[in-house]
Amino acid sequence: KQEVTQIPAALSVPEGENLVLNCSFTDSAIYNLQWFRQDPGKGLTSLLLIQSSQREQTSGRLNASLDKSSGRSTLYIAASQPGDSATYLCAVSSSGSARQLTFGSGTQLTVLP
């Protein structure tokens, strides 16, 4: 059964700092990997999706990488801002017809002004 782990569970950084969030998964037979942002009590906003055949995706200040063979993904946030404060969730979509999404427990990011 797929397991997804995110480290660290919480991170606090000063504004302007570059940071990396980590995600690891146990089964490399994935369809794709998606990073989400969740504000407290709110829904999930999709940030980036990386297909299993891709190595990275970029959107603005965000860059996500995927190393399927080692079961790892990173989310790089450049020049962090207080508005980036949220919980970031990594989710892996399994191969096969079920397309089940398995989530990590998230990294709670606080960017201090």
Sites of contact with another protein (CB under 8 A): 31-32, 34, 36, 41-44, 46, 49, 51-53, 89, 91, 93, 97-101, 103-106
The least CB distance from residue 102 to another protein, in Å, is 8
Q: Is 48 exposed, middle or buried (0-12, 13-18, 19+ CB in 10 A)?
A: buried
Smallest distance from the beta carbon of 33 to another protein, in angstroms? 9
**Closest CB 94 distance from another protein, rounded Å:** 11
Cα three-residue angle 57-63-68, rounded to 5 degrees: 60
Q: Which is nearer to another protein, 76 or 103 (CB)?
A: 103
Rg of the chain on CA atoms, in Å? 14
The residue (of 55 and 99) whose beta carbon lies closer to another protein is 99
User: Considering beta carbons, is residue 80 or 93 the nearer one to another protein?
Assistant: 93
Q: C-beta of 54: minimal distance to another protein in Å? A: 9
Give CA–CA dist 89/45, Å, rounded: 10
Of 61 and 99, CB closest to another protein: 99
Helix (H, G, I), strand (E, B), or coil: what is residue 84? helix
H-helix or E-strand containing 75?
A: strand 72-77
